Amino acid sequence: MNIIFLTKYFPPDSIGGGEISAYYLALGLVGKGHQITVIKRGKKDRDYNESKNLKILERKKLFTTEVPNFERRWAKKQAQILIQDIPRDTQIIHSHDFHSVLIGAELKKIIPDHPFFIATVRDYWPVCGYGKVKINGEVCPGCKSLRDFKDCPKVARGNLIHKYLRMWRYHYNIPQRQESLKNFDTVVYISRALRDEIKKSRNIFFPFSTGRVIYNSIPLETEDYTSSFNGEGKTILFAGLLDLHKGVEFLLKALGKIALKADFQCILAGTGPLFEQYKKMAKYLRIENKVNFLGAIPYRLMPDLYRKTDLVVMPSLWPEPFGRTALEGMAYGKAVVATRHGAPQEFIQNNETGILIESGNVLELAERIIFLLQSPDERRRIGENARKYVLENFHPAKIVEEYERIYFKNN
């Protein structure tokens, strides 16, 4: 099959789990003999080949850094630029992120005898401008009333002009985002939690289609990573965006309590808008010597961090749409502590393949981390169970087959 992937970023220019997921899906499809053309943002127009059946086109005029306030107008212009890169024998056009879904919806309108269009929704952009979390850390039901907008972290952080501009932008564009999804032949969600949270949002302006759920794949190698088990149990890893919805403040407060009872080192791999604020917070809690802020880490270096860590934490305040960090930690045979809402509930069986805690409960997080640090046998048992579960349910070949069933069914 000739398949086009639309995505703003694609490794090595990857900034998050969505791009990584698209990358591994592309590799899996190439391995099955499909021809994949990835069209992504670039600094200049250029074509280069990753392999025989994987062609990557960088287009400097596509996927501009920020979508302007009139999103549909922007997407129409982008579609007109993109159409010249669509071969006539294209069978599938697959949009992988917010930007490419907007463009794909407009592209479908102008391609005669259009191919099959599929969108993968990886976060809450159809219903939310931030991440389904209010400024106080509570889960947001959706931006519809003035009060909802005032509670949005993105709105709250802006100056007076930015506040009103962002409120207007979300109010105006969110219905059009949902309208864009209606133009696709199939919509895929990366977890049941994501699909259901979108479904119950108060700002749904269109008849909701349940959509298909296909998880992201987790790259797995033949090495038995449980061999990297460290009985000392001192290293904690958090990897992700340093922002409110990821629960880093919640984690730092827990680490402040842990410091009174156990020895540890915590690695924070990532950057974000609250990076400096969290560094100051660690100093205030007197744990600055126990917390290592690494900043942004290239994805190719993450395996080494997973091997060296003893347990992985995902203290999210938002309902995680997927939870790649938790699953990758599990794939490396590590015990994972995650909050009890969002997608992690779908793959973490409490005390068997990981540990689930209540979101925002500092004391519970501290207690569970201390328990795992001081219980090497439990840490090993949970890690081994976790790796086995990921091998059986998130293998790249399994995810590729699920997408193939959609592709072939409609061609």
Whether 373 maps to a domain, the answer reads: yes
Q: Residue 253 corresponds to which tokens in the numbers above?
A: 């407060």
If one counts every other C-beta atom within 10 angstroms of the C-beta of residue 126, the result is 25
Whether 336 maps to a domain, the answer reads: yes
- What is the length of the chain? 411
Same structural domain, 192 and 281: no
Same structural domain, 113 and 129: yes
Name the pLDDT band for 398 (thresholds 50, 70, 90). very high
DSSP 295: E
% the chain with pLDDT above 70: 93
Average pLDDT over residues 128-140: 81
222 pLDDT exceeds 50? no
Predicted pLDDT of residue 267 = 97
Whether 166 maps to a domain, the answer reads: no
Whether 87 maps to a domain, the answer reads: yes
DSSP 13: S
CA distances from 21 to 17, 25, 89, 125, 329 (A): 6, 6, 25, 17, 16
Same structural domain, 229 and 366: yes
Q: Which of 31-45, 185-199, 352-366, 384-398 has the lowest mean pLDDT?
A: 31-45
Predicted pLDDT of residue 68 = 74
Same structural domain, 192 and 248: no
Q: What is the 3-state secondary structure (H, E, C) of 188-220?
A: EECCHHHHHHHHHCCCCCCCCCCCEECCCCCCC
Average pLDDT over residues 71-79: 92
Same structural domain, 232 and 289: yes
Question: What's 315's domain CATH number?
Answer: 3.40.50.2000
Same structural domain, 263 and 366: yes
d(CA 311, CA 313): 7
Same structural domain, 254 and 120: no
Task: Kindly report the backbone phi and psi dihedral angles of residue 19, in degrees, each rounded to the nearest multiple of 5, phi listed first.
Answer: -70, -35
Domain count, the chain: 2
Same structural domain, 187 and 274: no
Q: Is 174 helix (H, G, I), strand (E, B) or coil?
A: helix
Predicted pLDDT of residue 136 = 79
Whether 115 maps to a domain, the answer reads: yes
Whether 154 maps to a domain, the answer reads: no
Entry pTM: 0.91
Same structural domain, 302 and 199: no
Cβ atoms 292, 267 nearer than 8 A: yes
Same structural domain, 11 and 133: yes
225 pLDDT exceeds 60? no
282 pLDDT exceeds 90? yes
Range of the domain at 346: 225-393
Non-local (6+) Cβ contacts of 247 within 8 A are 314, 315, 316, 317, 339, 359, 360
pLDDT in tens, 297-353: 988 889 999 999 999 999 999 999 999 999 999 999 999 999 998 999 999 999 999
140 pLDDT exceeds 50? yes
Same structural domain, 205 and 311: no
Q: Residue 140 corresponds to which tokens in the numbers above?
A: 């947001």
Whether 145 maps to a domain, the answer reads: no
Residue with tokens 């439990």: 378
Same structural domain, 189 and 289: no
pLDDT in tens, 150-179: 788 878 887 888 788 888 788 888 888 899
What is the crossing angle of helices 98-110 and 71-82, to 10°?
Answer: 60
Average pLDDT over residues 200-206: 77
Cβ atoms 243, 276 nearer than 8 A: no
Predicted pLDDT of residue 132 = 82
Name the pLDDT band for 409 (thresholds 50, 70, 90). confident
d(CA 398, CA 366): 36
Residue with tokens 């100051």: 280
Whether 153 maps to a domain, the answer reads: no
Cβ atoms 93, 4 nearer than 8 A: yes
Closest listed residue to residue 333, CA positions, set 218, 228, 237, 216: 228
d(CA 30, CA 51): 9
Cβ atoms 141, 133 nearer than 8 A: no
